[in-house]
Structures are given as C-alpha cells and as structure tokens.
Structure 1
Amino acid sequence: MTQPDSVTQPESAPVTEPASAPVPDAEPPRRRRTGRTVALIAVAAVLGLVGGTAVGYGIQAEREPTPLAALNQPDLAYPKPLPRGQNPAPLTAAEDRKVKTDGDLRKLLLPRPAGTKKSEFSDADGWMTLREYASGFRSPEWALEDQLENKLRRIAATSWQKGEFRTTEIRLVQYRAGDSLGARDHAEGQIEATAEMAENDGEPIKGSADGRVFVLPVHKEAGYVDVYEARAYFHRGDIMVTVYIIDTKKISVKEISSVAEQQLGRL
C-alpha cells in the first residue's frame, strides 16, 4: 500500500503577546458630586431661612406699634344680660337647696316613723360631736385627723327603735364651704370598706349617683344572740349620709333601701 506523501506543514505564525497583557482602560466618566450639591443646597436653605427671619424682624421693628384694643368694651360682657323682663324668677326657699343645707341641718333628718320610739342611743339635741363620730371607727385618731383635713362642718343624727331590738340610725355629715369633695370622698371610702366586709358590691340606691346599700353577714358569737346589720352610704352636695339598721332578725335589701331613699328625698 502506497504511503501518502507527507503533508507539508505551513510555517508557524509569528508569536504575539498574550491576550491577558495589560491594556490601558478608557477614561471613566466623571461622577456628579451629588453629596456636595445637596449639602450646599441645605446650607443655602438654612441661610435663607435665617436671613428671611432676620429681615422680617427688621421690617416689623421699623413699623409703628399697633395700638391694643380697649379693655373696657361693653359689647364683650359675658354672659350676655337678658333683656329686661326676661330674667328668671329667684328660687324659693323650698327650691333653693343651699337654703336648706345652710339652715338647721337637723330639720333635714328623716322624721321618726309612727310606731317607733326614740332610741336610747339618740343624742338629746340631735347633734353629734366630731369626737363622738370618730369614736365609731377602728382608728378614732386617724378618723378624727382625716375629717379635720376634709373640713368637716357639723353632724346631725337621729335614731329610733322598733320592737325590742331593731334600731335605725341616720347621720348627716356636712362639710364646709359647700365642698362636695369631702362628702364624696368620705362616702366612697365607707362604701369601699363596707364592700370588703360584705364581700360584695352592694346594691345601688335609687335616685343617687353612686350610693350603695349593703346587708352584712350575720355576726355570731357563743353566748349571744345573732346580730344582723345593714348599711347605706351616699352623698348629695356637701352632705354625706349614713344609714344603719341593726336587729336580731334578718334585714332585707328592700328595708334598708327604703330608709335610704326616703332620706335622700329630704335632701
């Protein structure tokens, strides 16, 4: 078999630089100096604001002062007086509650019901001293100080007895200068303390904003009869009212509520 002629190899091409040889890059485009521009704009805005404020004050200073309006302008009277003949009639003594409460406080006490007798615990003149009132609290010294700070004015009290044991007592505790805060705070404090003793929130008194009545658990002690007690607390204006009923028989919510509502009606 004939061998093919050897193929003549072409002359090798001249050697060139490798492709990775460094080639100068084109000049990069110039970036906008946004940060500096924004800073310059911000500085200009601040200078403009300060300059404008200064110019404004300068202009205002050069102006003549504006005269103030007269203070004694009759048209500014408030409240506006009603035309002649349209003024409301003054309250009568029966309608003006202030007349009632500034008078003899004992006259606002609920009268002793028919079929009852004066209780042996009743004060002869219908007044109770602050010391006597404070003595009924667990801490008389604290109660005395607290009532003095609240500007207690006077206390009217009455009590009566029905049958052999049932005793009802009412106290009107009034504070000075028509201050309803003392009466309200005292009522709220007694309601809170009695709610803990009764282990319930009591029942609302009809016609009262926040008054409550409570029937306490029976008090049992060996060698003594069982003692039942019911209480009511509410306030009206600068007067705080307490109602107590004590008996050896059960006292219903209706019974204590009836007395409280009648006393509230007198105020």
Structure 2
Amino acid sequence: MEHTEESAAAPRRRRTGRTIGLIAVAAVLGLVGGTAVGYGIQAEREPTALPALNQPGLAYPKPLPKGQKAAPLPSSEDRKAKTDGDLRKLLLPRPAGTKKTEFSDLSDGWVPVSAYAREFRGPGPALNEQLSAGVRRIASTSWQTGKYRVTEIRLVQYRSNDTLGAQEHAEDQMAYMPDDDYARSEGEPIKGSANGHYYVFPVKRKAGYLDMYEARAYFHRGDIMVAIFIADTKKISAKDISSVAEQQLGRL
C-alpha cells in the first residue's frame, strides 16, 4: 500500500527513558576514559623545562657596554632645555610686512601675572587660581596688519608640581567658548594638536561703531598653555586663525 502524505509525516518513535540513560552513561564513561588516557600519556613523558622568568635579552632600552654613557640630546630635541630657556624665543616671530602694536615695547615681551589676571572678569579669583596652579611666567607678542587687524600670542608656562596647570588652563578657556557671549560653537581642532581648538566668533555690531570680528585659539604642549587672539573690523577666516595656531604649535 502506498504511503500517504499524512503517514510520511508521522513522528518517529520516542526513545525510552532507559535508552537515554544508557547513552548518557556511555558519554560520561567516554569522557572519563579519554581524560584518564590523556593523563597517562602525559605522565610517561619527560618533564619540559619552563622558560626562565628573567630574560635579559628582552630588556628595553638595551644597556650600554660597560664604561659608556648615553650621549646628551641635542638642544633641538631636548624640549626641557628649550622651554627652560628664554620663553620669548619660542613665540612666533612677527611676520614680514606687519608692524608692532602700540603696547609691544612696554613689557619687553613679558606679562606680569597680576596684569594677566586683570584681563579676566574676576581678577582676584583668577590670580588666586593661577598662583595655585603654579604659574611660572607669561611671554607675549603682538603685531598689527593693515589698519585694524591685531594678532596677539601668549605663552603661559607652569611649574612642575602635582597639578596640570597648562592643560587645565587651556581646557578652562575652551569650556566657555560655546557660550552666547563668545564663539557660540565647539570650535575646530588644530592640526597637529591632540587637545587644541580654534574659534571664529560671530560678528559684533553696535550702532555708531565699526563691526568687530574676533577669532581665538587655545592649546597646550607640555607645561605651556598657548592663547592666540585675532581682532579686526573685517571678517577673519578660519584659515587666518588656524594658520597662526599651527605655526606657533610647530615652535614648541
């Protein structure tokens, strides 16, 4: 008799509980037996010595031959020697075709910490904060391009202590840039810097006055925090501020 579609789809006969139990026992015996054989083989083999914990060949940096000393870094590669010297020499030189601002010669390139603090909205707290952070010295340069454009760069250096003065000061300044009174944006990253940003502010207009444009950049490198300002009565492009920031970064 031919099988119907219904009979072909009938379920298979189920295994009894005894059959399942036998299969389970056999599986367990196989696992235990295999493990026992494996241990037996290992026991008959000669022990393999472990590698030495102390491997001098992996030491880094490689020790110098006896009697030799490491040559000191050239000044061009020694950042500490560079930053411990005259900080003003690390400032970006005044570009050709520009002129000094009216305040350029008043401080000989140095800004007193008290004068720097007076430029903040809360001079007293700002001064206390800078002293607590271990501010060491501040170097500055500025120049004028055309009739109204002024560019200023400041290097704020901190002493080595348990605070990260340069990093924290840069981050504090960048933190309020998105506010309405400032750039109103998160800024754009400075090429070559892992932490810095530049900002182009919206134009400021007031009846009876020329339009005011502003751009800033902030970053830190080691123990030096860098602040760059450009102001003009004409539009300042992103390239204008980013170019100055990248050039100054390259000198640190």
TM above 0.5, one fold?
yes
Q: Secondary structure at the match of 2:177?
A: helix
| Higher radius of gyration, 1 or 2 | 1
Shift of 1:178: 7.0
Asked if 1:218 corresponds to 2:203, the answer is yes
Shift of 1:131: 1.2
Q: Which residue does the alignment assign to 1:162?
A: 145
Q: Which residue does the alignment assign to 1:138?
A: 121
Q: 1:126 aligns with which of 109, 130, 133?
A: 109
Question: 1: CA distance between counterparts of 2:150 and 2:242?
Answer: 15
Aligned partners of 1:180 and 1:239 also within 8 Å: no
Asked if 1:113 corresponds to 2:95, the answer is yes
The AA in structure 1 aligned to 2:227 is T
Is the alpha carbon distance of 1:203 and 1:143 closer, same or farther for their aligned partners in structure 2, counting shifts above 3 Å?
same
Asked if 1:171 corresponds to 2:147, the answer is no
Question: 2: CA distance between counterparts of 1:222 and 1:246?
Answer: 19
Deviations 1:27-55 (A, max 9, x none): xxxxxxxxxxxxxxxxxxxxxxxxxxxxx
Is the alpha carbon distance of 1:243 and 1:88 closer, same or farther for their aligned partners in structure 2, counting shifts above 3 Å?
same
The AA in structure 2 aligned to 1:199 is R
Q: 2:175 aligns with which of 192, 202, 224?
A: 192
Q: Secondary structure at the match of 2:203?
A: coil
Asked if 1:229 corresponds to 2:211, the answer is no
Shift of 1:138: 1.0
Deviations 1:203-254 (A, max 9, x none): 0001111100000111111111010000000000000000000000000111
Aligned partners of 2:155 and 2:227 also within 8 Å: yes
Question: 1: CA distance between counterparts of 2:162 and 2:96?
Answer: 35
User: In angstroms, what is the RMSD of aligned CA positions?
Assistant: 2.1
Is the alpha carbon distance of 1:103 and 1:192 closer, same or farther for their aligned partners in structure 2, counting shifts above 3 Å?
same
Q: Secondary structure at the match of 1:214?
A: strand
Q: Which runs of 5+ in 2 are unaligned?
A: 1-59
Q: Which residue does the alignment assign to 1:255?
A: 240
Shift of 1:89: 2.9
Aligned partners of 1:110 and 1:266 also within 8 Å: yes
Question: 2: CA distance between counterparts of 1:217 and 1:234?
Answer: 21
Q: Which residue does the alignment assign to 2:86?
A: 104
Shift of 1:153: 0.3
Aligned partners of 2:133 and 2:163 also within 8 Å: no
Shift of 1:100: 0.8
Q: What is the number of equivalent residue pairs in this alignment?
A: 191
Shift of 1:184: 0.1
The AA in structure 2 aligned to 1:146 is E
Question: 2: CA distance between counterparts of 1:249 and 1:86?
Answer: 61
Q: Which residue does the alignment assign to 1:41?
A: none
Aligned partners of 1:157 and 1:171 also within 8 Å: yes
Question: 1: CA distance between counterparts of 2:62 and 2:146?
Answer: 60
The answer to which of 224-233 and 190-199 deviates more is 190-199
The AA in structure 2 aligned to 1:258 is S
Q: Secondary structure at the match of 1:198?
A: coil
Shift of 1:148: 0.6
Deviations 1:116-140 (A, max 9, x none): 0001132441000011111111111
